[in-house]
């Protein structure tokens, strides 16, 4: 038998939920009527994703090659005679495409001078783009006859640009451009038949040229620009890349679907060739991970080669249609793949070697819920970019007191497209949901799961359930009627007061933990882990609704200040002038760490820019003391 207090509580709950049931019914009817006006499309009109659809960035027509300069990516569009520019921070195309020569087919970048060089196939020229302004410098540079596809590379140490020339079936040559004044210099260097591509070892000043019809690679001494010898490789060598760190040359052979590997120390081929996908046409090397990425045009895939063992990693990565060019952003460990037939660029995460989708999640209303992807990854409603594997499953989970309503895609021009929404429940199920919500046992709705298959911005819409009366405010049976009468206005007031108090207490707690970092009177690299842990707690607390958006923004700013202090102290600790090899290594590691922290949005743009300028000053100091 229940005691008097328990009976009182049960009666109160029953009475309260009868009142709530009517409120929920009217609330759902109103929402159902509102949906077409909000989204302008019915469920019959929503986009149906194809199982073979992959995330991508749209560029111009027939993208052929990619150049990467830190956080800016340049894509040549052969049919448009243009170059598209992609912001490597948020992976979106920026500005108008840049007009270049006729039939751009190859691209490379001098990161020291911030100049981009584009080989134009049909007018025998090279266009030069100023990377600071993203404008073309006039006039174009005339080189040899019919520069072949992907035939350009830059020796940044000498600021010289090498371009392959020659028609298929005939002996070709290599032109040299002086990057100081962008003029062609000296005599062209004779190589084999149908030179298609070249690569440079910046440490040894050696140039390697792939000769398609001779099935070999010519070796050029960059000091005197003379041809040394030829190395036999696979059938139809079409593209080449050099890992200067390991002194290893990788050659993609399109006619027998292999990659040949050359030892740069002895200039001899390492046996056997590595089998990759069909028609390998693009190749790029990630120096950080010692991995080689090969674009297979006929497969629509990218093969990955382990540079330590020179073996292919299974399986190949599915990308867009007819991938032809590969560019790698080393600081972010991101691989960009130009897909020729569908005018797109695929993005691969170098950590997982999977195609990723770039998404932004929003929650409406704020703090009504959170989003979990692939069961173990929590995505907070931060209105910020996230990267996740293609076909990740994300579920919108309501916080207590809310229920899921719909998923929508946010389109340009402030318009939206309805993806999924919950059908209005009947009054019985609404009463059941309210009771489950009261005891925090609500189950996830099937409609709340979204399959992420492309880049985009998505919003999970929730609606508030009428709050049940908190049992701690119940005293006696006599209070049931009075409590039910005033619950519609008293309960929100009490809950609002308690939330505000809890938000302030949590904010004070986070601020005190920030102050604790200064207990030893210094901030250095040993504090990175503590700061990361605190930031994770702040993000998690924000997701749960422990703090408000304004409080969250203040905490992020304060955290950025702490990260900035650590980096400033680490930069000051470096020995000046920078001549020692260990100091140079520490400087480069610090530079890379700064980029990683910025990409993870732990430090804001202002602090990142100031710190990068300080490191750039050190690098200039190092170069001036060579």
Domain-embedded: residue 58: no
Domain that holds residue 388: 4-53+357-466
Q: Is the pLDDT of residue 580 over 60?
A: yes
Higher-confidence residue: 395 or 207? 207
φ and ψ at 450, to 5 degrees?
-125, 130
Per-residue confidence (pLDDT) for residue 96, from 0 to 100? 92
Same domain, residue pair 69 and 139: yes
Burial of 15 (0-12, 13-18, 19+ CB in 10 A): middle
Shared domain check, 545 and 424: no
Number of independent structural domains in the chain: 3
- Do 563 and 426 lie in a common domain? no
Q: Are 76 and 97 found together in one domain?
A: yes
Query: Residue 352 carries which DSSP code?
Result: T
Summarised one tens digit per residue, pLDDT across range 302-361 is: 999 999 999 999 999 988 889 999 999 887 788 999 998 888 888 888 888 888 777 778
pLDDT band at 571 (very low <50, low <70, confident <90, very high): confident
Residue 489 lies in a domain: no
Cα 100 to Cα 129: distance, rounded to the nearest angstrom: 9
- pLDDT the model gives residue 286: 92
> How far apart (Å, rounded) are the C-alpha atoms in residues 330 and 327?
9
Same domain, 273 and 371: no
- pLDDT level of residue 248 (50, 70, 90 thresholds): very high
323 and 443 share a domain?
A: no
Q: How far apart are CA 119 and CA 129, in angstroms?
A: 12
Determine, yes or no, domain membership for 20.
yes
Which is more confidently placed, 418 or 109? 109
- How far apart are the C-alpha atoms of 522 and 296, rounded to whole Å? 52
Mean pLDDT, range 268-275, rounded to an integer: 96
346 in any annotated domain? no
* pLDDT for 468: 53
394, 440: one domain? yes
Max mean pLDDT among 193-197, 418-422, 588-592 falls in 193-197
Closest Cα to residue 172, out of 185, 183, 163? 163
Give me the mean pLDDT over the 150-173 stretch. Answer: 85
Identify whether 484 is part of a domain: no
pLDDT at 370 over 50: yes
Looking at the predicted structure, is the pLDDT value of residue 393 above 50? yes
Within-domain flag for 332: yes
Question: If you average pLDDT over residues 586-613, what whole number do you get?
Answer: 83
Q: For residue 141, which phi and psi values (nearest 5 degrees)? A: -95, 125
Q: Which residue, among 179, 149, 186, 147, has the nearest Cα to 161 in the 3D structure?
A: 179
| 35-74 pLDDT tens trace | 322 222 222 222 333 333 445 778 888 888 899 987 799 9
CATH number for the domain harbouring residue 79 = 2.130.10.10
Mark whether 531 and 424 lie in a shared domain.
no
3-class DSSP state for residue 5? Answer: helix
Last residue of a domain, one of 287, 313, 341: 341
Q: Do 241 and 282 meet the contact criterion of CB atoms below 8 Å apart? A: no
331 and 415 share one domain: no
Residue 397, SS3 per DSSP: strand
What is the 8-class DSSP label of residue 623?
H
472 within some domain: no
User: Phi/psi at 127 (nearest 5 deg)?
Assistant: -90, 145
Closest CA to 240 of 224, 221, 222, 216: 216
Tell me, yes or no, whether 376 lies in a domain. Answer: yes
Q: Are residues 25 and 81 in the same domain?
A: no
At 492 the pLDDT is 54
**411 and 387 within one domain:** yes
Of the residues 341, 369, 392, which one is the last residue of a structural domain? 341
Query: Among 315, 341, 367, which residue terminates a domain?
Result: 341
Q: Are residues 434 and 538 in the same domain?
A: no
* Range among 149-153, 207-211, 392-396, 467-471 with highest mean pLDDT value: 207-211
């Amino acid at each position: 038998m229940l005691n008097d207090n328990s009976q009182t509580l049960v009666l109160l709950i029953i009475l309260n939920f009868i009142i709530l049931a009517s409120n929920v019914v009217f609330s759902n009817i109103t929402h159902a009527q509102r949906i077409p006006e909000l989204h302008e499309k019915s469920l019959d009109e929503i986009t149906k994703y194809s199982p073979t659809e992959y995330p991508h960035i749209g560029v111009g027509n027939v993208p052929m090659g990619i150049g990467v300069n830190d956080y800016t990516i340049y894509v040549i569009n052969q049919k448009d005679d243009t170059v598209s520019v992609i912001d490597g921070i948020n992976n979106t195309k920026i500005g108008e495409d840049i007009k270049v020569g006729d039939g751009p087919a190859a691209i490379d970048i001098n990161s020291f001078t911030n100049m981009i060089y584009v080989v134009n196939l049909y007018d025998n020229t090279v266009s030069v783009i100023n990377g600071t302004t993203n404008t073309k410098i006039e006039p174009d540079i005339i080189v040899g006859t019919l520069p072949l596809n992907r035939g350009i590379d830059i020796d940044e140490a000498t600021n010289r640009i090498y371009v392959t020339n020659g028609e298929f079936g005939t002996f070709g040559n290599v032109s040299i451009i002086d990057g100081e004044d962008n003029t062609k210099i000296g005599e062209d260097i004779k190589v084999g038949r149908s030179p298609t591509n070249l690569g440079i070892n910046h440490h040894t000043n050696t140039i390697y040229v792939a000769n398609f019809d001779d099935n070999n690679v010519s070796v050029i001494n960059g000091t005197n620009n003379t041809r040394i010898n030829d190395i036999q490789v696979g059938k139809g060598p079409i593209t080449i890349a050099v890992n200067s760190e390991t002194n290893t040359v990788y050659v993609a052979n399109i006619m027998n679907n292999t990659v040949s590997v050359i030892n740069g120390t002895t200039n001899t081929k390492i046996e056997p060739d590595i089998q990759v996908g069909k028609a390998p046409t693009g190749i790029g090397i990630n120096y950080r991970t010692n991995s080689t990425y090969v674009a297979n045009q006929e497969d629509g895939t990218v093969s990955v080669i382990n540079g330590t063992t020179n073996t292919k990693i299974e399986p190949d990565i599915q990308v867009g249609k007819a991938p032809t060019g590969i560019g790698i952003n080393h600081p972010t460990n991101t691989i960009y793949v130009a897909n020729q037939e569908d005018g797109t660029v695929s993005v691969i995460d170098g950590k997982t070697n999977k195609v990723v989708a770039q998404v932004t999640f929003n929650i409406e209303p704020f703090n009504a819920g959170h989003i979990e992807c692939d069961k173990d990854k929590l995505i907070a409603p931060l209105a910020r970019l996230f990267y996740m594997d293609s076909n990740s499953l994300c579920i919108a989970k309501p916080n207590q007191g809310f229920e899921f309503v719909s998923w929508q895609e946010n389109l340009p021009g402030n318009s939206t497209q309805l993806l999924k929404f919950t059908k209005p429940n009947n009054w019985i199920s609404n009463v059941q949901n309210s009771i489950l919500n009261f005891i925090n046992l609500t189950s996830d709705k099937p409609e709340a799961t979204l399959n992420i298959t492309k880049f985009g911005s998505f919003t999970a819409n929730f609606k508030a359930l009428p709050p049940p009366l908190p049992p701690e405010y119940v005293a006696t049976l006599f209070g049931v009627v009075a409590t039910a009468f005033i619950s519609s206005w008293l309960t929100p007031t009490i809950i609002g007061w308690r939330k505000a108090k809890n938000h302030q207490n949590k904010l004070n707690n986070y601020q005190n933990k920030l102050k604790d970092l200064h207990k030893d009177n210094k901030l250095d690299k040993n504090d990175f882990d503590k700061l990361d842990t605190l930031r994770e707690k702040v993000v998690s607390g924000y997701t749960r609704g422990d703090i408000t958006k304004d409080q969250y923004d203040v905490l992020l700013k304060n955290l950025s200040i702490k990260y900035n202090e650590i980096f400033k102290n680490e930069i000051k600790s470096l020995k000046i002038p920078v001549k020692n090899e260990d100091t140079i290594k520490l400087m480069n590691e610090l530079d890379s760490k700064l980029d990683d922290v910025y990409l993870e949005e732990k430090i804001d743009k202002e602090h990142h820019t100031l710190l990068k300028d300080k490191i750039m000053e050190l690098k200039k100091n190092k170069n001036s003391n060579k």
